[in-house]
Amino acid sequence: MNEISLYRNKRKTTQMLFFSGAICLLLFIVLLYSIGLFDGVFKAKPTVFSGGALLVLLILVLINLLSLRDKSAQIILNDAFFLGKTTPLAKAFGQGDWADVKAIDLQKVGGDTLVIVTLGNPNKYKGRLSSLLWKMAYQESADELTIMYSASTIDVDASELYNLFVSYWKAKDSH
Residue 175: its pLDDT value, please? 54
pLDDT tens for the chain, 175 residues long, are: 689 999 988 888 888 889 999 999 999 999 999 999 999 899 999 999 999 999 999 998 888 888 778 888 999 999 999 999 998 899 999 999 999 999 999 999 888 899 999 999 999 998 899 999 999 999 999 999 999 999 988 889 999 999 999 999 998 766 5
**What SS3 state is found at 53?**
helix
Domain hosting residue 91, numbered range: 75-173
Within this chain, do residues 35 and 117 fall inside the same structural domain, yes or no? no
1 lies in some domain: no
Residue 23: its pLDDT value, please? 94
How many domains are contained in the chain?
Answer: 2
110 lies in some domain: yes
Q: Assess contact for 137 and 147: CB atoms under 8 A.
A: yes
Within this chain, do residues 63 and 79 fall inside the same structural domain, yes or no? no
Note the pTM of the prediction, 2 decimals.
Answer: 0.76
Give the whole-angstrom CA distance, residue 107 versus residue 115: 6
38 lies in some domain: yes
2 lies in some domain: no
